Amino acid sequence: MSVRTLTTPTTADPTAPIPRAGRTRKRRTSTTHVLAPLVFISVAVVLFLLFFVWPGALGLLYSFTDYSGVGDLDFIGLDNYVDLFADDAFYASLARTFLYTALSVPLHYVVSLGIAMLLASSLAKGKSSARVIFFLPWLISPIVAGVIWRWLFGENFGFVNFVITLLGGDGLHWQTDASLALALILIVSTWATTAFNMLLFIAAIRNIPKSYLEAAEIDGANAWVRFRRITLPLLAPTSFMVILLTTIGSMKEFAMVQALNGGGPGTQNMFIVQYIYRTGFERADIGYASAASMVLMAILVLIALVQMQFDRKRDLA
Amino acid sequence: MKTFRAAPSTIILWVLAALYLFPTAWFLLSSLKPGSELFSLPLTILPRDWTVAGFVTAWNRFDFQQYFINTTVVAVVTTALTVIVSAMTGYAFAKYTSWWLRGFFICILATTMLPTEVIMPSSFAVVRDLGLYDTLAGIIVPSIITATGIFMFRQYFSTIPDELMEAARIDGVGEFRLFLKIMLPLAKPIAVVLAIFSFQWRWNDYIWPLLILRDPERYTLQVALRSIVGADNIDWSVLLAASVISLVPMVVLFAIFQRQILSADINSGLKD
């Protein structure tokens, strides 16, 4: 999925197949063909301008001011950015977000692809009921997902620590140890996002022609070689999309963590969106939060561009 | 022979399925325990006393009826608008060609890279300046356009042969009637899929309601739940029951549309 292929027009010029149309008719058709699509996209254009372009521009403007949400704007030049780049809390949350993203993307990818392979192409029994089970977390909101796992992994009351003590161990500090808390966030997000990625993979796996795999099997390729040499390369477009969407999703993780541990212990697992929320809405420092938003936006654009570059290289190869 | 070869993958599959199911099962069973039993060791998987006391308390202590109404209004209205706007926009992208359509398509594509969370502070200011602060409309209007929905319709309409449109045009059908009377009815399957997805997105939405709603009278379920989790002393008995209640509509929806959801070729909307 690269911008290049996406923007290539898939349909021919609709006026083209009417070669015998008279001059007046042609002119009339071409004018309606400007008016009609314009009307069709008008609502989307207005909403896009209102809720993407305007906030984007306003955010850039705010980032140069000390706006607190009320009152006047005072331009303070680059002060917010200067402060931001000297703010340890900002770096800490940015670094934590990167660490989380770097861990979650491969984890989500491997788990959802693995489960999709089991469901779509293995001989396993009971696949249709298993598929419903793997899909159930999709119904559950991030907030409730946080509640469910917080309940399961409670330090003093959770079922998991109860089993650990029963087996003779000491309960683990899922809430008060920063690394374990991050591990828990990874587990929950994997559990929650498998459903959607799995559906994408299952659809793509089913589209792989059976004859390819059968031919390889006859030639003596074992299951792993067939997966590595046939399935995986043919899944490349889906893989690219899952990785891109997971990366963006991980960079903006917020709601589930709010319910799971609130970014705790303390602020040790505070991700960047929570940082922006806190500075912007709890400290009412809209200008400063906007500067952080702009930095995050630049990072996301960079990530998307880098990933598309990879996608393009693969297309050419 | 076949059963023998299937054994390892069956075991792996069902161990994984059990791991995926357990958290939810434990949560559901716990919600049926009385408050006193929730923390009493040793913990038992099945409740010793089955009770719905938690549900009664949760329903009475919180204005769930109001939260349900609010969330339903937001989810239904947004979904209806999302389907209409996505259909129109996706249709224009699929069936007309011009430089400004291509340009706007790239803009829509960019919105997937730059989600609203990223520009929260200024998005909030925009909604407030539009006079939508602390209203349900303030959650509905900004959520209408989704790139996924537009891609889904674009992909779907581009599979419909242009000859169909040409035939209608030659018969003198105008562009708008062509869309409303011929193309839109053809796109019903994709509209259903998008409607289900959109309903799920909006039912479970957290960040917009959190930013926009102030009056508890207008809270959606997710914001209301968060206010219970965020308390210093979490009342687990109420929280578990309240969370279970909030899941009911999604489970019902899934039960009805299971086939459409699980066979949804969501790929088609995005891959192209």
Average pLDDT over residues B70-95: 94
User: What pLDDT is recorded for position A313?
Assistant: 67
Separation in Å, CA of B208 to nearest CA in chain A: 11
Domain ranges of chain B: 56-270
The reported pLDDT for the residue numbered A210 is 86
Residue B229 has pLDDT above 90, yes or no: no
With contacts defined as CB-CB under 8 Å, which chain B residues touch A115?
16
Residue A126: predicted pLDDT: 85
Residue A271 has a pLDDT of 92
d(CA B195, CA B87): 11
What is the average pLDDT score of chain A? 84
Burial class of A38 by CB neighbour count within 10 A (0 to 12, 13 to 18, 19+) = middle
| B232-249 burial: b if 16+ Cβ within 10 Å, else e | eebbbbbbbbbbbbbbeb
Is the pLDDT at A28 greater than 70? The verdict is no
Please tell me if residue A108 touches chain B, with a CB cutoff of 8 Å.
no
* Confidence band for A19, pLDDT divided at 50, 70 and 90: very low
Work out the average pLDDT over B116-144: 90
On whether any CB of chain B is under 8 Å from the CB of A118, the answer is yes
pLDDT at A175 over 80: yes
* CB-based contact, A230 to chain B, within 8 Å: no
Measured between alpha carbons, how far is residue B70 from residues A194, A300, B207, B218, B248 in Å?
29, 33, 15, 6, 15
pLDDT tens digits for range A119-147: 987 778 888 899 999 999 999 999 999 99
pLDDT of residue B4: 62
pLDDT for res A7: 36
pLDDT mean over B176-191: 90
Q: How many CB pairs under 8 A join A and B?
A: 310
Over residues B64-92, the mean pLDDT reads: 94
Instruction: Give the pLDDT confidence score for residue B120 in this predicted structure.
Output: 87
DSSP class of A264: -
Q: Given an 8 Å threshold on Cβ–Cβ distance, is B206 in contact with A238?
A: no
Higher pLDDT, A150 or B231: A150
Helical spans, DSSP H, in chain A = 3-7, 23-48, 54-62, 79-84, 88-121, 127-135, 142-152, 159-166, 178-206, 210-218, 223-226, 232-234, 236-251, 255-260, 272-277, 286-316
pTM of the model: 0.86
One-letter amino acid at A272 equals: I
pLDDT in tens, A61-75: 999 998 887 777 888
Would you place residue B73 in the very low, low, confident or very high pLDDT band (cuts 50, 70, 90)?
very high
Q: What is residue B264's predicted lDDT score, i.e. its pLDDT?
A: 66
Average confidence (pLDDT) over B210-237: 86
Complex-level ipTM: 0.88
Question: How far is B96 from chain A, CA to nearest CA, in Å?
Answer: 7
The CB density around residue B196, as the number of other CB atoms within 10 Å, is: 18
The fold of the A82-316 domain, in CATH, is MetI-like fold (1.10.3720)
**Is the pLDDT score of B106 beyond 60?**
yes
A71 vs B: CB within 8 A: no
Q: Residue B3: its pLDDT value, please?
A: 58
Nearest CA in chain A to B93: A37
- The superfamily in CATH containing domain B56-270 is MetI-like (1.10.3720.10)
Beta-carbon separation of B125 and A55 below 8 A? yes
pLDDT the model gives residue A275: 92
Smallest CA–CA distance from B142 into chain A, residue? A51
**Domain edges within chain A:** 21-62, 82-316
Task: Please name the residues in contact with A233: beta carbons below 8 A apart, sequence gap of 6 or more.
Answer: none
